């Protein structure tokens, strides 16, 4: 048996919302680290149903393999009910969701949300001697949120390490992946079964809709989060079909060549 790599001997903390991206990142971390803890945030989000999805997702991922079950550590949820006081956004109120607010960003953008998540996660991890933080942020498909950008995350890592005299490493497995690529990563990590777990158990819809199951999962199908998830899943399915068709054509050509030989 190969000796474990340095990462496989360390702990990691996944900022785990209960959504598609954080579920994929949890699978990514479980495939790499010896021990993986999860941390969520209750910040008054209108789609608070995502918090209820977290336990089911964790259980489903642990059931995928004995190794993942062994590696999955405790979960915690921190109360950050401060965002309603900081800014008036559609994600922390019942205001109609709009793609473009006065500043050109979607009005679901909560200023500083990811930055505060990272800060609190780092403080929580510091007390537990965990230096690896795993985040589901993505610049490629971020809805334009500036705190999902690679530069923002790198700046936060530098600030944390300066301010806490530590050596935190902020891992962003999805940073340069589209939503289609995120589905592909899930399949690489856990096959079609993991894709189905994320489809069934994760939550993305800003409206908190869990009544109707689409081929891409549950949601209203109209909000920006649903549209992004649906488009990514459609692209993923189309790519898989293309790969399958190409493989079949190659197999037929190979068989024809052998028959003619």
Compute CA 206 distance to the chain's CA centroid, rounded to the nearest angstrom. Answer: 15
Which residue from 42, 49, 23 is spatially nearest to 205, judged by alpha carbons?
49
pLDDT for res 83: 72
Q: List pLDDT tens digits, range 8-31.
A: 579 999 999 999 999 999 999 999
Which residues have CB under 8 Å from 216's CB, separation 6+?
199, 229, 230, 232, 233, 234
Contact in structure between 106 and 66 (CB atoms under 8 Å): no
pTM, full prediction: 0.87
Compute the distance between CA of residue 102 and CA of residue 238 in angstroms, rounded to an integer. 36
Residue 219 CB partners (closer than 8 Å, separation 6+): 203, 204, 205, 207, 209, 212, 225, 226, 229, 230
pLDDT of residue 189: 97
Name the stretches of the chain with pLDDT < 70.
1-8, 90-92, 98, 100-104, 107, 141-143, 245-261
Residue reference for tokens 């489903």: 60
In the structure, how many helices (H) and strands (E) does the chain have? 8, 7
């Amino acid at each position: 048996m190969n000796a474990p790599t340095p990462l496989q001997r360390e702990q990691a903390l996944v900022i785990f919302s209960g959504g598609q991206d954080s579920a994929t990142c949890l699978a990514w971390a479980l495939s790499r680290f010896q021990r993986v803890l999860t941390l969520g945030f209750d910040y008054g989000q209108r789609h608070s149903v995502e918090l209820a999805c977290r336990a089911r997702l964790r259980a489903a991922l642990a059931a995928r393999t004995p190794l993942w079950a062994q590696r999955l550590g405790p979960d915690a949820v921190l109360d950050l009910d401060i965002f309603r006081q900081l800014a008036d956004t559609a994600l922390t109120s019942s205001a109609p969701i709009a793609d473009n607010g006065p500043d050109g960003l979607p009005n679901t953008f909560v200023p500083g949300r990811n930055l505060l998540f990272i800060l609190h996660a780092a403080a929580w991890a510091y007390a537990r001697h965990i230096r690896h933080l795993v985040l589901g942020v993505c610049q490629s498909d971020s809805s334009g949120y500036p705190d999902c950008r690679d530069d923002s995350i790198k700046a936060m890592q530098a600030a944390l390490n300066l301010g806490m005299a530590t050596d935190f490493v902020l891992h962003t497995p999805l940073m340069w992946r589209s939503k289609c690529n995120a589905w592909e990563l899930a399949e690489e990590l856990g096959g079609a079964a993991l894709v189905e777990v994320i489809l069934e158990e994760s939550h993305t819809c800003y409206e908190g809709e869990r009544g109707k199951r689409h081929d891409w999962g549950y949601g209203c199908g109209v909000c920006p989060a649903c549209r992004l998830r649906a488009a990514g899943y459609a692209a993923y399915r189309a790519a898989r079909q293309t790969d399958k068709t190409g493989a079949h054509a190659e197999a037929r050509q190979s068989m024809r060549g052998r028959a003619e030989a």
